[in-house]
């Protein structure tokens, strides 16, 4: 059990956070919250007795986002729900099919994905935040034509890519002090719906909103020089180094969409992107408001870091 902080230590924590609060006042931060954060997997770095339940993990995340909003930041949450979609498919007797790591999405699977993302995960996140006040509103990429999608590959069915982001509905909500919570279902120009990777959506929204930060929360400790060695976490990586990591295989599998989203956002003008382990209690606050974060920070090549 962690020892309780004394008065001076508590004061030191607040003082450390102060310059970050001042720096990010009024700035947009896009946070991608992965469905796998809610469902700890094998290899979790925490001891079994320390693992939070799904409800505890969600409550902790909601507290972090509400606190960010309360100190003047403008958070936008984009969420996935892959494990939850898989669970419901299994309960309905439908066998998931994947190609190159992507879920093949026929009409029935799309309906299941929409039910889970919009009707379950989105509502749970919004409700967890609204415990603290009238703060959050849930929506999907289809609302106000926020996201226009295109089909990724005919063999994948209704899996889409982001073609255009219209951030106007998000800007209006942020101006009203509302935290938007975005489910990643979006339609094309003809009204056909698609399921889109949440990392890609978060990166595109961060770029469209000219966000100060993109934070991708997942179930690993960050980028590693050796994917199999948790102690090899890299604290800072440039976007050019990201490209090399993908080429070398240091970033592979499920990490690739996160790397691509972060690189897209930073190259589009977002000053910082972060990949961190969302299973660590209050990881979001530790990354944003402390001198030494808990994940990996991505920055533009040649930039002088302060």
CA angle 29, 293, 199 (to 5 degrees): 45
Spans of the chain, pLDDT less than 50:
1-2, 40-49
Predicted local distance difference test score (pLDDT) of residue 211 = 97
Q: Give all domains of the chain, ordered by start, each with its CATH number.
A: 22-299 (3.40.1160.10)
Spell out the alpha helix ranges (H) of 166-294. 168-175, 198-208, 239-248, 255-267, 283-289
Contact (CB, 8 A) for 204 and 158: no
Contact (CB, 8 A) for 37 and 278: yes
Predicted local distance difference test score (pLDDT) of residue 135 = 95
CA dihedral in degrees (156, 276, 226, 50; nearest 10)? -110
User: Around 86, how many Cα atoms within 13 Å sit in the side-chain half-sphere?
Assistant: 12
Predicted local distance difference test score (pLDDT) of residue 10 = 75
Residue 26 burial (10 A CB sphere; 0-12, 13-18, 19+): exposed
Predicted local distance difference test score (pLDDT) of residue 252 = 66
**pTM greater than the 0.85 cutoff:** yes
């Amino acid at each position: 059990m962690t020892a309780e902080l004394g008065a001076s230590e508590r004061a030191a924590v607040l003082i450390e956070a102060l310059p970050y609060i001042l720096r990010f006042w009024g700035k947009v931060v896009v946070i991608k919250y992965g469905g796998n954060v809610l469902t700890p997997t094998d290899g979790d770095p925490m001891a079994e007795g320390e693992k939070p339940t799904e409800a505890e993990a969600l409550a902790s995340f909601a507290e972090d986002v509400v606190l960010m909003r309360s100190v003047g930041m403008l958070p936008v949450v984009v969420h996935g729900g892959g494990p939850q979609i898989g669970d419901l498919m299994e309960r309905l007797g439908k066998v998931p099919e994947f190609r190159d790591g992507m879920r093949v999405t026929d009409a029935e699977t799309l309906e299941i994905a929409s039910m889970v993302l919009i009707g379950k995960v989105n509502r749970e996140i919004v409700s967890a935040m609204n415990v603290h006040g009238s703060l959050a509103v849930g929506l999907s990429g289809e609302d106000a034509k926020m996201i226009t999608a295109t089909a990724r590959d005919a063999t994948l069915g209704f899996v889409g890519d982001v073609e255009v982001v219209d951030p106007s509905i998000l800007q209006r909500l942020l101006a009203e002090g509302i935290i938007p919570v975005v489910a990643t279902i979006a339609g094309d120009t003809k009204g056909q719906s698609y399921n889109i990777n949440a990392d890609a959506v978060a990166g595109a929204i961060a770029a469209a909103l000219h966000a100060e930060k993109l934070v991708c929360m997942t179930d690993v400790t960050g980028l590693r020089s050796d994917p199999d060695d948790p102690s090899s976490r890299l604290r800072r990586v440039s976007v050019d180094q990201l490209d090399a990591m993908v080429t070398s295989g240091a970033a592979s599998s499920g990490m690739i969409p996160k790397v691509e989203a972060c690189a897209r956002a930073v190259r589009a003008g977002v000053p910082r992107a972060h990949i961190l382990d969302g299973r660590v209690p209050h990881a979001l606050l530790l990354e944003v408001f402390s001198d030494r974060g808990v994940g990996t920070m991505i920055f533009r090549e040649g930039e002088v870091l302060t």
